[in-house]
A and B are shown apart, each in its own frame.
Chain A
Amino acid sequence: MRLVVSFFVFGLLVLLLWAGLGLNPRELPSPLVGRPTPVFELPELLDGEGRFQHQALRGQASLFNVWASWCVSCRAEHGLLMELARAGVPIYGLNYKDTRTEAIAYLRRGGNPYRAIGFDAAGQVGIDWGVYGTPETFVIGPDGVIRYKHVGPLSRRVLTETILPLLQSLDGAAS
């Protein structure tokens, strides 16, 4: 009897581990995926008068990148963002918990890949987007629906395997 129990427990454990093989622990689903972007309106970082609103993310599939000048990993992905921008991918930025002068100095040094940047000094909009660390990158469909979220610096692999194909299919479906 005791034996049956111990074999049963052991079997359950093996089953659990086997089930675990099919899961991806790195994938953190964002509750925002599949929903429209949060509603926001922020001052534009570079253009002191301008505003940057959620409607700007409609019409064309785009990337929405959360960054800050104090974030070292953002520096690591900056080169990739510049490449993407040069290739014509629309990228919008959310400058998160930063100061205007340092953020502008950062872009002056590394180049500006963004079409428009929301300046979110207090991090309020970041909370709506569920940001818990920079950098984070969202893929937004032409309909303004969030399709994918990547946490941490972008890598060439993530771009070529996931993000770029997704952008293409989103634009393809819209046209």
Chain B
Amino acid sequence: MNIRVCFAKYDRLRFLGHLDVMRYFQHAIARSGIPIAYSQGFHPHMIMSFAQPLALSMTSDGEYFDCELAADAEVDAEDLCERLQAAMCDGFYIRSVTVLPEREPNTRKQTGMSQIAGAMYLCEPLPGCEKALTDALSVFAGMTSYCIEKKAKNGMRAVDVRAGVHAIGIVKGSCCGADGEEITSENESGVRVEYLADDGVFSVPETLGEGWGREHSEHALHRDGAPRFVFAVDAGSENNISAELIATALRQVAAGELPERCFTLHRMELYRSMDGHMISLSE
């Protein structure tokens, strides 16, 4: 029996690297007493598989790992979720536990990692970069293609960054809510997102914050008055549009107006592809 765990990573923990997050969850599972399956051999380890690593300094609502439970384990997703949550430290939150369907015999194992096809990010410019970034984004959104060189295994390779970005949205009323009131985590879900570009591959959210665990975070709340953007991009092993690639593209478009670090990113969700459409990894 396999389960998929979706968790959020906030606050100070945005400076924990991927390997440390994996270690953390191994310990957390041991503390929670969840009946996890171990590999065979003299040094058995928990059978776990983590999805896409998150870059340092990024927070996230869409982190995933799959793990296998012991053969005789009784599975109640809600109970597992509660037990895992009880083993968390501040900054990590379990958002959901999903029981994965049994694999058809003789088919390849589909872990979260191999399924990933897309990601959605919330982007906030760093102080001083607001205008240049907004301008660059409008220009970028109007393009149909934008290639940059990326280091690959065998030399440099041209990547079409623009083609990998499926939707670009601007969060409306970022200094205040729809009717002029101040935005708080409670009413943030009512904040509208307006799209500069959207090719329909993702079902993009019309308002911000639907069902996200952001209420746990003291950090994720944005600075007053700062604009915010939403990106829906290709991710995973096929064509990964990393935060770094987007930043490089926007810096080039802005022609020297933007510094090396010009925004912070929050990962909203990871997706897999189904019939040419992106659906959440937890669905």
Partners in one complex: no
Q: Please list the residues of chain A having a beta carbon within 8 angstroms of any beta carbon in chain B.
A: none
Residues of B within 8 A of A (CB): none
